[in-house]
């Protein structure tokens, strides 16, 4: 079967690659593009470890065919930090120990960023709902939720008011 030529943008950079028609975006990211931050946890879109953005919309890269990237903007964990350093979410996750083994962390961070871009002032319930597609088998989510809420407050220039349930 002939490979398909795809031209897209990944983390703000133009990218071209060849792929099989049935190849997932996750396989292309981790293989030919060498972007191994997105993880395969389930291969069926249930765990969120492979979360990326497609034109700003949160998706599971294991469910997306790589050929569908043609002409679109892909955002991965590798593009989250900037030349100025870590993204505020990444920094807060480190400060608050909102991660453990690291398998889910890239997907959680991408989902959290997508949430804050749409809703810069989420409630605890909205954060939990926004991250519901990301499973973590190591922790109870409270540190993750606190880190997202505190980052949101800092990015707005406000002091974080933690709900009693996550204190």
Q: Does the residue 167 lie in any domain?
A: no
Give me the CATH number covering residue 15.
3.10.20.30
CA–CA distance, 148 with 122 (Å, rounded to integer): 9
Write out pLDDT tens, residues 77-120.
Answer: 999 998 889 999 999 999 999 998 989 999 999 999 999 999 99
Chain centre to alpha carbon of residue 151: 15
Tokens of 154: 């800092």
Are 43 and 17 in the same domain?
yes
Q: Answer with the one of 59, 79, 99 that is the final residue of a domain.
A: 79
Sheet with 57-60, side-by-side order of all strands:
13-19, 4-10, 73-75, 51-54, 57-60
Q: What is the pLDDT of residue 89?
A: 97
Q: Does the residue 70 lie in any domain?
A: yes
Closest CA relative to residue 110, chosen from 153, 48, 160: 48
Are 40 and 100 in the same domain?
no
Q: Answer with the one of 79, 111, 146 that is the final residue of a domain.
A: 79
Averaged pLDDT for residues 14-29: 98
Element (H or E) spanning 74, and its range? strand 73-75
Write out pLDDT tens, residues 114-149.
Answer: 999 999 999 999 999 999 999 998 878 999 999 999
Q: Does the residue 27 lie in any domain?
A: yes
Total Cβ atoms within 10 A of residue 87: 20
Q: Does the residue 48 lie in any domain?
A: yes
Are 50 and 105 in the same domain?
no
Q: Answer with the one of 79, 111, 127 that is the final residue of a domain.
A: 79
Give me the CATH number covering residue 101.
1.10.150.120
Domain tally, the chain: 2
Its pTM stands at 0.92
- What stretches of 14-104 show up as alpha helix (H) in DSSP? 25-30, 88-95
Are 9 and 62 in the same domain?
yes
Closest CA relative to residue 120, chosen from 81, 166, 88: 88
Q: Is the pLDDT higher at 165 or at 35?
A: 35
Q: Does the residue 110 lie in any domain?
A: yes
Q: Does the residue 126 lie in any domain?
A: yes
Total Cβ atoms within 10 A of residue 26: 22
Are 19 and 60 in the same domain?
yes
Give CA separation, 115 vs 6, 88, 149, in Å.
28, 14, 11
Q: Does the residue 9 lie in any domain?
A: yes
Q: What is the pLDDT of residue 160?
A: 52
The count of residues in the chain is 167
Domain that holds residue 110: 88-162
């Amino acid at each position: 079967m002939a490979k398909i030529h795809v031209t897209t943008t990944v983390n703000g950079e133009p990218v071209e690659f060849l792929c099989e028609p049935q190849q997932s975006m996750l396989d292309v990211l981790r293989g030919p593009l060498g972007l191994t931050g997105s993880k395969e946890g389930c291969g069926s879109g249930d765990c969120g470890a492979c979360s990326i953005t497609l034109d700003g919309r949160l998706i599971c890269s294991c469910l997306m065919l790589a050929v569908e990237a043609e002409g679109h903007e892909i955002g991965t964990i590798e593009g989250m930090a900037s030349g100025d350093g870590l993204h505020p979410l990444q920094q807060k996750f480190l400060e608050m120990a909102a991660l453990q083994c690291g398998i889910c962390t890239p997907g959680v961070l991408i989902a959290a960023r997508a949430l804050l871009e749409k809703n810069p002032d989420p409630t605890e319930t909205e954060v939990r709902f926004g991250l519901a597609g990301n499973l973590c088998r190591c922790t109870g989510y409270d540190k993750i939720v606190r880190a997202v809420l505190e980052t949101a407050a800092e990015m707005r220039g406000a002091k974080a008011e933690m709900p009693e349930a996550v204190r």
